[in-house]
Amino acid sequence: MNQTSPSPQLWYLDDLFVGQQFSHGSYLMEPERIKSFAAEFDPQPFHLDEQAGRDSVFRGLAASGWHTAAATMRLLVTGGLPLAGGLVGLGAEVSWARPTRAGDQLTVNSEILEIKPSRSKPSQGVITVRSITLNQHGEQLQVLTSRVLVFRRPDSSFEANPGAQ
């Protein structure tokens, strides 16, 4: 069973600062779900069949990188980056350091790298967040660096954010 821990509050641009870190729940990569996801979205043999996986560069059944990305997104939404207005992505770069395997227990750690309040829309800004997905051994599986739209607190005076750079 996959478990996540909901956060008790919503975060606004005014609450964030460069260097701020978040941890996000956990997600178990089950073999049936790896194959099901692959059958629908990335039907390559090494994602669908153990023997094909062993005969591939992966040397075993490997989850699609897009499945790892989808599990990461779930953890970001449900487990610790509760941005007011939701996680509205404006672009991202993703890299996969090693394959995600059946039985891997994924966790995600995120850090805010940059905050840019909007000059033309004072009620919002853009943050850059690096989210690293790890397995149960602490091995890095994926790095996702994304730009995310974030809103200011509705009662904010729209003054410069002291955490922005």
The stretches of the chain forming alpha helices (DSSP H) are 31-41, 45-48, 50-54, 65-78
Which pLDDT does position 157 carry in this prediction? 58
Question: Is residue 63 a contact partner of residue 141, using CB atoms and an 8 Å limit?
Answer: no
pLDDT in tens, 48-63: 999 999 999 999 999 9
pLDDT in tens, 20-49: 999 999 999 999 999 999 999 999 999 999
In the chain, domain spans:
13-151
In the DSSP assignment, the letter for residue 38 is: H
pLDDT in tens, 87-123: 999 999 999 999 999 999 999 999 999 999 999 999 9
CATH topology of domain 13-151: Thiol Ester Dehydrase; Chain A (3.10.129)
Which pLDDT does position 1 carry in this prediction? 34
